[in-house]
């Protein structure tokens, strides 16, 4: 049986404004250069964020930047914020200890951090 997602309109609008503000904060002279898969993932990221599905934001966020991390030459260290996002993804995808103790406010703040990292790296890749 399917359930309908109900998010108060004001909360949805506030989160959508935050999502696009974080996008715009990182935007530069070049627009995002996303293939169809990443376009779909970005749309999923926006939906997850606006719905308050904070763990989905972590998982989808990592899916958006994972290819960028894999393109890094092996002798070059990963950016610390990508390491942070990867470790978060691993905790939540594999049920680590932190998964049992996080509260809603902490998860919302975590999702904000994920957006910052994702947009920073997507726009940096577009500038190259």
Q: Decide if 4 is inside a domain.
A: no
Give how many domains the chain has, as a whole number.
1
User: Quick one: 104 exposed, middle or buried, by C-beta within 10 A (0-12, 13-18, 19+)?
Assistant: exposed
In a domain, 21, yes or no: yes
Residue 58: inside a domain: yes
pLDDT for the residue numbered 104: 85
Q: Which domain holds residue 43?
A: 9-127
Residue 101 burial class via C-beta count within 10 angstroms: exposed 0-12, middle 13-18, buried 19 and up:
exposed
* 109 assigned to some structural domain: yes
Confidence of residue 7 (pLDDT cuts 50, 70, 90): confident
Residues 31-77: tens digit of each pLDDT: 888 999 999 999 999 999 999 999 999 999 999 999 988 888 888 88
Q: Is residue 1 part of a domain?
A: no
| Within-domain flag for 3 | no
**pTM for the model:** 0.88
What is d(CA 67, CA 71) in angstroms, rounded to the nearest whole number?
6
Place of tokens 């964020």: 49
Take residue 9 and report the two structure tokens written for it. Answer: 């309109």
Q: Is residue 27 part of a domain?
A: yes
For 83-127, the pLDDT digits (tens) are 999 999 998 888 766 555 678 888 999 999 999 999 999 998 887
């Amino acid at each position: 049986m399917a359930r309908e997602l109900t998010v108060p309109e004001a909360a949805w609008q506030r989160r959508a404004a935050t999502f696009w503000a974080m996008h715009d904060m990182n935007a530069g002279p070049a627009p995002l250069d996303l293939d169809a898969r990443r376009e779909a993932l970005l749309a999923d990221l926006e939906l997850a964020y606006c719905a308050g599905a904070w763990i989905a934001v972590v998982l989808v966020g990592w899916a958006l930047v994972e290819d960028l991390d894999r393109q890094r030459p092996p002798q070059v260290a990963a950016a610390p914020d990508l390491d942070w996002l990867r470790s978060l993804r691993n905790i939540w995808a594999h049920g680590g200890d932190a998964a049992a103790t996080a509260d809603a406010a902490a998860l919302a703040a975590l999702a904000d951090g994920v957006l910052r990292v994702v947009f920073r790296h997507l726009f940096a890749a577009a500038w190259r």
